[in-house]
């Protein structure tokens, strides 16, 4: 059984504002991590649709959202009628942070740097 | 115009009980391919949980060969669940499978609309209604509680952030905009000073950018029609419009699509009346 937080990854598919290499590297590392996660084509579109999945994610407790600026993410959820809790939600910004930092923040140290899972890292 | 209430297809790559695991490279490539096409896709590993689906369709893909696919139940009657075996498929073949299920379920193609619309930062918004008065495309409205809100996202003109320029509190975001603070980046004092200057530009132009743009465009057309030099007229018109559109960052397509001066005046008056009514109601309560 998996432990830990839920992960939501936004690919920002309809704009070129998130560096392509960053989002694709983060996606690849998440896909290879062994963790379950939700990937959405575009969080803005989900917000416009008022997708009920946003409500469930916000209510699930610990969640890490890999997308863009935290202020934008917070108010995109609000626009969908969902209040993000103050505690337990981390927003990682692919527009400003390198992939390695984001992967480490989501999956823990060791995932971001060398492509190996923590147990594979040589001492 | 996209239908935001239309059902969608969500894809689940299932690698739990009853489905063999996918090779790492295939999983990542498949997810990337589906996301680029506009599908939401979830990776479910052993013991993993995901957000539920309350409407639309879900397609569970996995390597089910010689095994019984997992059972899924829809208790609401509003979600249809499909299973497909993708054993041996590459990303292109899996994508074709997803497209086929989507068509079978009579669900429209994903994408086709760049989700460009204003998002209000209610931590900053003072409910001044300037955005409602300014926007000619009925993007904004007011709630029952007389609070400004974005009501028609897909009326917004793609790549036009002009309403954020007239917001005195920098409270309007366009998350896909290239620069801060409009893209959601944190606001610093220099941003506030710069945005205030742009509001001043709006005031200098009489407070109605659209009418000013129309007026200058009409004047340029009239002046050069006398000279019978269409090329020159066009260049001057473009120069006039460009100058103002640069200041407000209004895309040329939006300028070209502006209605007539009379229609603009009528829309602006209606929006202003709506804003004033909401403000009066809010003040009275």
- Give the closest of B39, B119, B186 to A75, CB-based: B119
Q: Which of B54, B105, B194 is nearest to A51 (CA)?
A: B54
Cα atoms found within 13 Å of the Cα of residue B29, Cβ hemisphere only? 11
Q: Is the pLDDT of residue B205 over 50?
A: no
Average pLDDT over residues A72-100: 96
Give the distance from residue B227's alpha carbon to the nearest chain A alpha carbon, in angstroms. Answer: 43
Question: CB–CB of A14 and B113 under 8 A?
Answer: yes
Structure confidence at residue A91 (pLDDT):
97
- Using a CB-CB cut-off of 8 Å, the residues of chain A touching B28 are 27-28, 31-32
Q: Is the CB of residue B54 less than 8 Å from the CB of residue A52?
A: yes
- Give the closest of A1, A45, A79 to B119, CB-based: A79
Q: In the structure, how many helices (H) and strands (E) does chain A have?
A: 5, 4
Q: How far apart are CA A63 and CA B138, in angstroms?
A: 35
The CB density around residue B105, as the number of other CB atoms within 10 Å, is: 15
- Using a CB-CB cut-off of 8 Å, the residues of chain A touching B184 are 68-73, 75
DSSP calls for B8-46: -EEEEEEESTTSBPPPHHHHHHHHHHHHHHT-EEEEEET
Mean pLDDT of chain B: 78
* Cis status of the peptide bond prior to B105, with omega within 30 of 0: no
| B79-88 pLDDT tens trace | 788 899 999 8
Structure confidence at residue B226 (pLDDT):
44
Q: Is the pLDDT of residue B54 over 80?
A: no
- Using a CB-CB cut-off of 8 Å, the residues of chain A touching B39 are 41
- Give the closest of A39, A56, A79 to B52, CB-based: A56
Q: A37-41, A77-81, B141-145: lowest mean pLDDT where?
A: B141-145
Decide the pairing of beta strands B9-15 and A6-10. unpaired
Give the distance from residue A74's alpha carbon to the nearest chain B alpha carbon, in angstroms. Answer: 9
More confident residue, B264 or A31: A31
- Using a CB-CB cut-off of 8 Å, the residues of chain A touching B52 are 52-53, 56
Average pLDDT over residues B142-161: 91
| A43-69 pLDDT tens trace | 999 999 999 889 988 888 899 999 999
Question: CB–CB of B51 and A6 under 8 A?
Answer: yes
β partners of residue B166: none
- Give the closest of B8, B51, B111 to A57, CB-based: B51
Average pLDDT over residues B142-155: 92
Q: Which residues contact B183 (CB under 8 A, 6 or more apart)?
A: A17, A68, A69, A72, A95, B173, B174, B175, B176, B177
Average pLDDT over residues B44-60: 70
Question: B80 is written with which tokens?
Answer: 């249809």
**H helix intervals, B78-229:** 91-104, 130-134, 162-166, 189-204, 209-227
- Give the closest of B31, B49, B113 to A31, CB-based: B31
- Using a CB-CB cut-off of 8 Å, the residues of chain A touching B112 are none
Question: CB–CB of B175 and A11 under 8 A?
Answer: no
Question: CB–CB of B184 and A73 under 8 A?
Answer: yes
Give the distance from residue A123's alpha carbon to the nearest chain B alpha carbon, in angstroms. Answer: 24
DSSP calls for B129-140: -HHHHH-SS--E
- Give the closest of A31, A32, A75 to B120, CB-based: A75
| B221-233 pLDDT tens trace | 544 444 344 455 4
Structure confidence at residue B272 as a pLDDT band (50, 70, 90)? confident
Q: Is the pLDDT of residue B210 over 70?
A: no
What is the interface pTM, i.e. ipTM, of the complex?
0.89
Q: Most confidently modeled of B2-6, B147-151, B154-158, B208-212?
A: B147-151
Q: A65-79, B41-55, B102-116: lowest mean pLDDT where?
A: B41-55
Question: CB–CB of B35 and A49 under 8 A?
Answer: no
Structure confidence at residue A70 as a pLDDT band (50, 70, 90)? very high
Structure confidence at residue B227 (pLDDT):
39
Structure confidence at residue B111 (pLDDT):
83
- Using a CB-CB cut-off of 8 Å, the residues of chain B touching A37 are 42-43
């Amino acid at each position: 059984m998996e432990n830990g937080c839920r992960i939501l990854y936004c690919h920002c598919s309809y704009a070129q504002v998130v560096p392509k290499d960053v989002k694709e590297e983060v996606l690849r590392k998440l896909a290879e991590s062994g963790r379950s996660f939700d990937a959405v084509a575009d969080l803005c579109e989900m917000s416009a649709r008022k997708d009920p999945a946003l409500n469930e994610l916000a209510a699930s407790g610990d969640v890490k959202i890999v997308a863009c600026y935290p202020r934008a993410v917070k108010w995109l959820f609000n626009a969908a009628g969902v209040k993000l809790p103050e505690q337990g939600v981390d927003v990682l910004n692919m527009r400003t942070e390198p992939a390695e930092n984001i992967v480490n923040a989501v999956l823990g140290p060791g995932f971001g740097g060398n492509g190996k899972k923590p147990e594979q890292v040589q001492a | 115009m996209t239908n935001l209430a239309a059902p969608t297809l969500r894809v689940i790559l299932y690698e739990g009980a009853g489905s063999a695991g996918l090779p790492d490279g295939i999983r990542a490539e498949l997810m990337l391919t589906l996301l680029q096409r506009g599908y939401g896709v979830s990776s479910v590993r052993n013991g993993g949980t995901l957000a539920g689906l309350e409407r639309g369709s879900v397609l569970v893909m996995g390597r089910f060969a010689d095994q019984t696919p997992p059972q899924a139940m829809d208790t609401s009657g509003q979600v249809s669940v499909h299973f497909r075996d993708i054993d041996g498929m590459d990303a292109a073949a899996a994508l074709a499978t997803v497209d086929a299920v989507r068509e079978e379920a009579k669900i429209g193609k994903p994408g086709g609309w760049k989700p460009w619309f204003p998002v209000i930062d209610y931590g900053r918004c003072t409910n001044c209604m300037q955005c409602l008065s300014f926007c000619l495309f009925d993007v904004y409205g007011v709630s029952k509680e007389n609070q400004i809100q974005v009501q028609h996202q897909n009326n917004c003109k793609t790549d036009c952030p002009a309403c954020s320029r007239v917001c005195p509190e920098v409270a309007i975001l366009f998350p896909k905009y290239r620069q801060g603070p409009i893209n959601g980046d944190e606001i610093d004092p220099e941003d506030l000073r710069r945005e205030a200057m742009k509001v001043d530009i709006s005031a200098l132009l009489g407070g109605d950018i659209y009418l000013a743009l129309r007026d200058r465009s009409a004047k340029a057309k009239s002046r050069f029609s006398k000279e019978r030099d269409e090329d020159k007229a066009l260049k001057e018109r473009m120069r006039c419009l460009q100058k103002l559109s640069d200041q407000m960052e209004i895309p040329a397509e939006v300028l070209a699509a502006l209605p007539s001066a009379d229609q603009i005046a009528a829309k602006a008056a209606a929006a202003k009346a709506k804003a004033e009514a909401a403000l009066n109601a809010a003040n009275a309560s």
